[in-house]
Amino acid sequence: MEVLLVVLAAVLAAVVVRSATAQHHLHHRIDQLVRRVAATGPGPGTGGSEGSIAELERATEEVTAQLEAARSTADRMAAALAAIPQGVVLCDERGHEVFRNQAAAAYASGRHAEALVEQAIRELTSAATEGRPHSRTLELYGPPRRVLLVSAFPLHEGDHAMGALVVVDDVSERRRLEAMRRDFVANISHELKTPVGAMGLLAETIASEDDFAVTRRLAQRMTGEALRVGRVIDDLLDLSRIEAEEAPRREPVGVGTVVQEAVDRVRPLSSARHIVIDTDQVRGGHWVRADQRQLVSAVANLLENACKYSDKGSTVEVRSRADATSVEISVHDHGIGIPGRDLERVFERFYRVDRARSRETGGTGLGLAIVRHVATNHQGEVSVTSREGEGSVFRLRLPNGAGSADDEAPVPRGAGHPVATGG
């Protein structure tokens, strides 16, 4: 992108310089012609004053056409630079500003953080007009927090200095994605290394153990570690598949059916922890247009998360409500809750509020990331509200499907509306 901006700005600067040169040339030729007419007067066989005037008109028309073409090209280049999201400032060889697009105009009249950006633009422009390319990274703490890369490039046409170009690029999202990628590599390495290392140690112990009871106990632990690795891999494959399906197949899907399948999927966990999943407030008339497999995966992950972080013997409530544009599925638990500092990060891959609790329950840290991608794939959103010690509410909101928002009859228990009880 920066290379493209430099090329566009160089072309624009060349056009401006050539326009000024052409205009100067036009004035020079007109002055020469006027002096010739005044000095020589009408000469024999030359057409007299009429010939000089005709020559003057032809020269004027020729240079005027060149000027119009140059102005048209400059206008197109200016429109192209105005349309891009990066801020662009173009200066002449004396450092005087000759062009600033709309994105960069906000810095000139801004305050606080924008004023810092404008100061960087002026300082880097001065360096670039002296032939020194330079760049500076500005971290603006906002809100919102932003990272801006300000780059300045000298412009030349042959040996002639034409000025300088300054580009202001908001790289906040790029930096965030780079950090997420680094965290992902570090986390997946840790998640796989721990159980694989444990299995290696267990295998070595088994090889040298003669006691059958001890060997059996160690083998069971190996099986548990292998299952843990399998869960991580399954979740990774599930997340990869959902990310790849940016435009999933859409068909009318009843919310009651989705909740039933999700409850069935987490029944072993809820039964083991004696947790009741209450679906009395899931309504029968709520529909969405969705990929049923993805939606079941999302709701199941919300239920699994609620069961893992709730006390044994507690209750998890699933509710649905709808309006003319959207359907909301919410999962309420009464567990340990989420600290306020962690609320913005719980949907990141492998981010876990309580790592010790996650390892105890076999969590992989990918479930909520899967929910977020399912919501994004369906033009929806997922959100959470929580207080420590009081539980959490996760809300999955999706565009309304074929159902009526006024149909509030509950789903019969035998028609996709079960209540899971423990033990």
Is pLDDT of 355 > 70?
no
Amino acid letter, residue 313: G
Q: Which of 160-164, 261-265, 294-298, 306-310 shows the lowest per-residue confidence on average (mean pLDDT)?
A: 160-164
Q: Which of 235-239, 299-303, 414-418 shows the lowest per-residue confidence on average (mean pLDDT)?
A: 414-418
Q: Which of 343-352, 356-365, 384-393 shows the lowest per-residue confidence on average (mean pLDDT)?
A: 356-365
Task: Decide: 71 and 16 in contact? Cβ < 8 Å.
Answer: no
Residues 316-332 have a mean pLDDT of 92
More confident of the two residues 44 and 406 = 44
Distance (Å, whole) CA 219 – CA 203: 8
pLDDT of amino acid 264: 92
pLDDT of amino acid 233: 82
Model confidence band, residue 98 (pLDDT cutoffs 50, 70, 90): confident
Burial (0-12, 13-18, 19+ Cβ within 10 Å), 93: middle
Residues 358-363 have a mean pLDDT of 51
User: What is the number of other CB atoms lying within 10 angstroms of the CB of residue 17?
Assistant: 19
Model confidence band, residue 33 (pLDDT cutoffs 50, 70, 90): low
- The domain defined by 2-170 folds into Beta-Lactamase (3.30.450)
Beta strand pairing status for 276-281 and 315-322?
Answer: parallel
Alpha helices in 94-211 (DSSP H): 102-108, 113-129, 172-207
pLDDT of amino acid 406: 41
3-state class (DSSP) for residue 251: strand
Looking at domain 174-244, its CATH class is mainly alpha
Which residues face 88 on adjacent strands? 167
3-state class (DSSP) for residue 259: helix
More confident of the two residues 276 and 15 = 276
Q: What is the mean pLDDT of the chain?
A: 78
H helix or E strand, kind and range, residue 146: strand 146-157
Is pLDDT of 303 > 90?
yes
Distance (Å, whole) CA 182 – CA 351: 13
Distance (Å, whole) CA 106 – CA 89: 12
Distance (Å, whole) CA 27 – CA 67: 12
Amino acid letter, residue 299: V
More confident of the two residues 284 and 258 = 258
Distance (Å, whole) CA 46 – CA 44: 6
Residues 124-135 have a mean pLDDT of 87
Angle, alpha carbons 175-177-179 (nearest 5°): 70
Model confidence band, residue 407 (pLDDT cutoffs 50, 70, 90): very low
What are the extents of the domains in the chain?
Answer: 2-170, 174-244, 247-423
Is pLDDT of 319 > 90?
yes
pLDDT of amino acid 409: 41
pLDDT of amino acid 278: 93
Same fold yes or no, 2-170 and 247-423: no
Tokens of 122: 């002026």
User: What is the CATH superfamily name and number for domain 247-423?
Assistant: Histidine kinase-like ATPase, C-terminal domain (3.30.565.10)
Amino acid letter, residue 326: S
Is pLDDT of 150 > 50?
yes
